[in-house]
Amino acid sequence: MAVNFSFFKIPEHKVFHYEPRFYDPRKEHRDEVAREAKREKAMKEGVELKDDTYVPGKMLHGKFREMAEQNRRQPFKPTTMRLVSYISLAIFFIFMFFFGDMFVELIQALNR
């Protein structure tokens, strides 16, 4: 028996469900005829026609690969570099606070 207890709220899975409110078959037919006419005109002129019909996931196709490639090209983001520099400065100042006297004595010994 499992108890689902958590201090933090876990978000529910979001589902997209679209139901068209109105369907006009004449308008769909008219749009299809216009699209076909544009396609034929583009073929006669030898111009490539962009197909602007909606296909789910069309804009995402290949985006994961592009983002991975971009991350390989730019390994450190500016925020990461800033965080690394702040941490290194903090470590340097802490080190100097605890062991600074030894460095001063070392420099004075070298100057004698």
SS (H, E, C) 65-108: HHHHHHHHHCCCCHHHHHHHHHHHHHHHHHHHHHHHHHHHHHHH
- Check: CB of residue 49 under 8 Å from CB of residue 42: yes
Per-domain residue ranges for the chain? 25-111
Residue 45's H or E segment, with its range, is helix 25-45
Radius of gyration of the chain (CA): 32
Look at residue 2 and tell me whether its pLDDT is greater than 60. no
Q: Say what the pLDDT of residue 61 is.
A: 66
pLDDT tens per residue, range 52-75: 766 666 666 677 777 777 777 666
Instruction: Report the pLDDT averaged over residues 32-59.
Output: 80
The torsion of the CA quartet 56, 60, 65, 66, rounded to 10 degrees, works out to 150
